Structure 1
C-alpha cells in the first residue's frame, strides 16, 4: 500500500536584526532624498511667477549672512542659509556693495551672480525671462524682446510708432494715453520690469501684450494722474525706483512746497514751477542730507561760519566739461520756507558783484525760457541743467502752479 505525504510549507525564519538595519537604510535614504529636495527647493526661485522687483541695499561691511537675511526679509529668497551655503561652495568672487533690484523669479545662483557683478545692471535672470530697464531705449531692448518672442526686431521697432496700432491701443486703454505728449511712442508706455515672453503671433501682438501689463500696473495710479494732469509715463519711470510708495512720497513733497512757491511768486515774481522743480532737482526730492537735515533745498552756499548757520559737505560740479567732487560750505536753514525765500531773494537781488545776475530768469514768462536762463545766467554750471528742470516740470505738470 502506498502512502501519501503532504509537503508542509517551509516557514520563513524571522531575522529581526536584518530587518532593523533595512529600516535604518530606508529611513536614511528618505532623509537624504528629502534633504536633497529641500536643498533644491531652497536654491530655486522663490516664486517663478512673481515678477515684482525688490530693492535691497548692500552695505560695504555686510557679511554674506547679513545680505542673505536682508534678501529673506525682503521676500526675494526662501532663506538666508541657502545664499550662505552657496557662497561657501562657489563663492570665488566677493559681494559688492550697492543698491540692487532682485526678484522672486531669481534662483540663488542668479542672486549671487548679481551680487558679485555689482549693482546697476538689473537682475540676473534665466533665459526664459526678459528684463526691460527704464533707462534703456527702444533700440537697446528690441533685439532681446524680438528674440524671446520670435518676431522681427525691425518689425517691433516699427510697431512702436505705427499709427494704426497706436489708435487701437488708445481705444483699448484710453486712460493709459491720458495727458500724453504729442511725440509719444508705444514704447514710452511699456512698463519696465521682468517679463516671461512666449512666442508672439506678430510684433504688433507683442506690443499689445506689453501694454496689457502696463495698463494693469497703472490702474492704481490713474485717478491721481488725471486729477493732476500728469502723463502716465511719469509714474512708469518710477516703477524701478520705489513704485507707488515713492510716487506718493514725491507728490507729498510737491504738495508741501507748492503753496508757498505760489506765495513767493506774488512777492518776488519767480515762477512756482521753477521754484518747485529746482527744489526737486537740487534736493533729489528732499532725499539729500543737505535738504532733509539742513532744510537747504537749492544747494545754496554760504560764507557764514556761525554755528548752526552753515555746514561743510561734498558737492559735485562741472568744470571744463568734467564732473569733479569738492568740499564746500552750504547754508543751513531753520525751515524749508526760509530756504525757499532765500532762493527767491537770490534770484531777485543777484550777488554782491552783480545785482542783475539773474535778470533773464526774472524776465522769463514761461518755464522753458526761465530754465534756460538759469544756465545762461550762471546759476548752474551743468549745460544739461535746463533740460533736467524742464523734464521735471513736464513730467509732474508743475506749470499748473504758474497759472
Structure 2
C-alpha cells in the first residue's frame, strides 16, 4: 500500500516536471520571438536620436539599393544595411538619384529612403522635434521654421540676431567663434547649418544661444587652423553642406601649396599674390576642374596652338550680352602648376600682342579690392560679378596676408 502511494506520487512529480519544462520552453520561445521582433524593429529606427550631426553622403548614379545600404552602414548612418535594403524593396525600390545628401543618425530608415528618392538637393526628412537649418537660406527665410519649432516669435528671433547685448554675451562665451569676424555680421552668420533639437528654450535669445553652443562644439576641430591663418569661422560654416572639415582641409592645403610661388611671382611681375591665388581658386574651382587637375591650367587660359600635348578642346561657359552660353574652346596645357601661374603673371605684366598695357590698372593697384575691380575694367573677365567673387574669396580665406612679402 505504501509502495503504491510512493509510485503515484512519483508519477505526479514527473507529470508536473514535464509541464514545468514545457512552460519554460514556451516562455523561452516567446522571449526569443519578442527579442527578435524588438531587435528587428530597432533596425528600422533611428540609430541615435540624440546625435544630430549631419554627414554629407555622396551616392553614385545608378547605384543599387544594396550598394547604397552598405555605404550608409559604412558611414555610420544606419545600424545594418539589410534593413535599408528590405525597406527599399518593400516599397518598390524607387530609383535613387546620384548626388550628395545630408543624412543623420536621428533619421529612421523610412526618412532616409524618402530623402534619397527626392533627389540631390533635398533637405533631411525629419520627424517632429527636429529642425534643419541650411546655409543656402537667409535668416529671414528660415526664421519662421525655427520659431515654430521652438515656440518663439519670428520677429523676436530676427531681432535677437542683431541684439548688441546678446552679441556681446556670445563673444564673451565663445571667443574663438568670433575671432576674425567681420563687424557687419549678425549672430545668424554664426549658426552652423545642421539639425537642431530645441527643448527648453524660453525665449528667442535662449534659442540663439543654443544654436551658437552647437556651432561652437562643431567648430572646435577647426579653431587651431582658423586662428593660425586668421580665417573667420564663417568660412568653415559656409562649407558645412559642401564637404565640411574634409573640404576645408583640402582647400586650405591648395592655398598653402600655391601661396609661396604666388609671392615669388609678385616680386617678379608685380601682381598681388592674393589676386593670383584667388583667380586660380575661382578659375579651377579649387583645383577640382578637369582643366586644372589634368592639364595644370589654373586660369582657363585659351590658345590657338594645336601642337600635340600643348592644348585640349573642352566645353566652357561664358557670359555674352548678359546671357551664359556654353561653347567649345581650345585651352593651353602646362607641364606644371608653376608654369600655369607664371604664364598668367606674365600676361598681366606684359599684356597681349595688341596692347602691352592691357592690365596696367591691375598692376598699379595697391590693394586687392582695386586690383579685383581692375580685372573687370581692363577686360580680363566678361562676368560683371567677377570682381565681387574674387574679393569674397580673398576675404573668406584671408589671402591678403600673402601680399606682404
- The reply to whether TM is greater than 0.5 is yes
Measure, in 2, the Cα distance between the counterparts of 1:319 and 1:149: 47
The normalised TM-score by structure 2 is: 0.91
Structure 1 residue 357 displacement after superposition: 2.8
Gap regions ≥5 residues in structure 2: 1-7
Structure 1 residue 240 displacement after superposition: 2.6
User: Is the CA contact 1:312–1:329 (under 8 Å) kept in the aligned structure 2?
Assistant: yes
Q: Partner of 2:186 in structure 1?
A: 185
- Measured at CA, do residues 356 and 90 of structure 1 come closer, stay the same or move farther in structure 2, by a change above 3 Å? same
- After superposition, residues 163-202 of structure 1 pair within 5 angstroms as 163-202=164-203
Structure 1 residue 226 displacement after superposition: 2.2
| CA-to-aligned-CA distance 1:115-168 (integer Å, 9 cap, x gap) | 110111332211211111122111111111111111111000000001111111
Structure 1 residue 20 displacement after superposition: 8.9
**Residue range with higher mean Cα deviation, 65-74 or 31-40:** 31-40
Matched, 1:87 2:104: no
User: Is the CA contact 2:65–2:93 (under 8 Å) kept in the aligned structure 1?
Assistant: no
- Measured at CA, do residues 394 and 336 of structure 1 come closer, stay the same or move farther in structure 2, by a change above 3 Å? same
Q: Partner of 1:367 in structure 2?
A: 368
Structure 1 residue 14 displacement after superposition: 4.2
Structure 1 residue 69 displacement after superposition: 1.1
Structure 1 residue 84 displacement after superposition: 1.2
State the SS of the aligned residue for 2:177: helix
Q: Partner of 2:112 in structure 1?
A: 111
Q: Partner of 2:4 in structure 1?
A: none
Q: Partner of 1:399 in structure 2?
A: 400
Q: Partner of 2:300 in structure 1?
A: 299
Measure, in 2, the Cα distance between the counterparts of 1:59 and 1:353: 48
User: Is the CA contact 1:229–1:397 (under 8 Å) kept in the aligned structure 2?
Assistant: yes
Measure, in 1, the Cα distance between the counterparts of 2:16 and 2:324: 84
State the SS of the aligned residue for 1:167: helix
| CA-to-aligned-CA distance 1:26-80 (integer Å, 9 cap, x gap) | 6665454333222211111111122222222222221111111111111111122
**Residue range with higher mean Cα deviation, 216-225 or 329-338:** 216-225
Q: Partner of 1:70 in structure 2?
A: 71
Measure, in 2, the Cα distance between the counterparts of 1:15 and 1:299: 90
Measure, in 2, the Cα distance between the counterparts of 1:378 and 1:154: 45
Structure 1 residue 291 displacement after superposition: 1.3
- Measured at CA, do residues 387 and 123 of structure 1 come closer, stay the same or move farther in structure 2, by a change above 3 Å? same
- After superposition, residues 209-288 of structure 1 pair within 5 angstroms as 209-288=210-289
Q: Partner of 1:390 in structure 2?
A: 391
Measure, in 2, the Cα distance between the counterparts of 1:198 and 1:16: 55
Measure, in 2, the Cα distance between the counterparts of 1:289 and 1:130: 38
Structure 1 residue 18 displacement after superposition: 9.2
Measure, in 2, the Cα distance between the counterparts of 1:15 and 1:172: 71
- Measured at CA, do residues 326 and 28 of structure 1 come closer, stay the same or move farther in structure 2, by a change above 3 Å? farther
State the SS of the aligned residue for 1:356: coil
- Measured at CA, do residues 316 and 31 of structure 1 come closer, stay the same or move farther in structure 2, by a change above 3 Å? farther
User: Is the CA contact 1:98–1:119 (under 8 Å) kept in the aligned structure 2?
Assistant: yes
State the SS of the aligned residue for 2:66: helix
- Measured at CA, do residues 29 and 256 of structure 1 come closer, stay the same or move farther in structure 2, by a change above 3 Å? same
Measure, in 2, the Cα distance between the counterparts of 1:86 and 1:351: 63
User: Is the CA contact 2:297–2:340 (under 8 Å) kept in the aligned structure 1?
Assistant: yes
User: Is the CA contact 1:148–1:199 (under 8 Å) kept in the aligned structure 2?
Assistant: no
| CA-to-aligned-CA distance 1:260-299 (integer Å, 9 cap, x gap) | 1111111111011100001111112112222122111111
Q: Partner of 2:156 in structure 1?
A: 155
How many residues were matched structurally?
396
User: Is the CA contact 2:62–2:97 (under 8 Å) kept in the aligned structure 1?
Assistant: no
Measure, in 2, the Cα distance between the counterparts of 1:184 and 1:157: 13
Matched, 1:60 2:32: no
User: Is the CA contact 1:150–1:199 (under 8 Å) kept in the aligned structure 2?
Assistant: no
Q: Partner of 2:314 in structure 1?
A: 313
**Residue range with higher mean Cα deviation, 229-238 or 111-120:** 229-238
Q: Partner of 1:41 in structure 2?
A: 42
Q: Partner of 1:5 in structure 2?
A: none
Measure, in 2, the Cα distance between the counterparts of 1:226 and 1:187: 21
Q: Partner of 1:3 in structure 2?
A: none
Gap regions ≥5 residues in structure 1: 1-7
**Residue range with higher mean Cα deviation, 226-235 or 149-158:** 226-235
Measure, in 1, the Cα distance between the counterparts of 2:225 and 2:212: 20
**Residue range with higher mean Cα deviation, 359-368 or 254-263:** 359-368
Q: Partner of 2:337 in structure 1?
A: 336
